Amino acid sequence: MYSKTVMDHFKNPRNVGVMENPDGMGEIGNPLCGDMMTIYLRIADDTIKDIKFQTFGCGAAIAVSSMLTELAKGKSIEEAKKITNKDVAKALEGLPKNKLHCSNLGADALHMAIQNYEARNAGNLNEGLEGVESDKHTHDEKCYCPYCDTQISEGETVCKDCALRVDDQKKPQKAGE
């Protein structure tokens, strides 16, 4: 189901790990869909000198993170800002359609890390680090109700189809009509 490149990056991920005292850090995740990603940046002369990632997710999510770090490493900040999720998927020789949304978060996490770096440079030390919007979708693709697979739109807290709450993982599933 995955391309050779995806499997290669999944089995031998590049730049995986934590970075101590990063210059910029971005976290993105969506507990509804299951994948979470953290990107750490070391920046000098407006260039990404080093980049690390940590990912909780499926094979695609790990491969996406790995490929993203390869694409971003050595790029200037301005170039890195232009990297899109599509670029990552393309470099991986494609991703299964149903993985495009939930697992292809790499570029979003990178952009957040850059934002965080720029905010710190501007003197807002903590901006971006805390309170990263970890449960919002920042891209176009759709998400689905975890109970009944109906497509749900952003911000929806109750699935129209099965009437179950979809925004709160702590509450047990309700009995309902």
Nearest residue (CB) to another protein, 156 versus 161? 161
Nearest 5°: phi and psi at 131?
65, 25
DSSP H helical ranges for 4-105: 4-11, 59-72, 77-81, 85-91
Enzyme catalytic residues: 33, 102
Interface with another protein, residue 102, by CB under 8 A: yes
CA 140 to chain centre: 13
Q: Does 59 bind another protein (CB under 8 A)?
A: yes
Residue 175 CB, shortest distance to another protein, in Å, is: 5
Site membership for another protein, residue 31 (CB under 8 A):
yes
Contacts of 167 (CB under 8 A, 6+ apart): 32, 135, 156, 157
Closest approach, Cβ 163 to another protein, in A, equals 10
Any contact of residue 172 with another protein (CB under 8 A)? yes
State which of residues 9, 19, 37, 88 lies at the interface with another protein (CB under 8 A). Answer: 37
Q: Does 78 bind another protein (CB under 8 A)?
A: no
| 88 φ, ψ (degrees, to nearest 5) | -65, -45
Cβ count within 10 A of residue 28: 26
Of the candidate spans 67-75, 114-122, 124-132, 165-173, the one that interacts with another protein by CB under 8 A turns out to be 165-173
Residue 25 structure tokens: 């850090």
Residues 6+ apart with CB under 8 A from 156: 166, 167
Q: Which is nearer to another protein, 23 or 27 (CB)?
A: 27
Site residues, another protein (CB under 8 A): 7, 10-11, 13, 16-17, 27, 29, 31-38, 54-59, 61-62, 98-99, 102-103, 144-149, 161, 169-170, 172-177
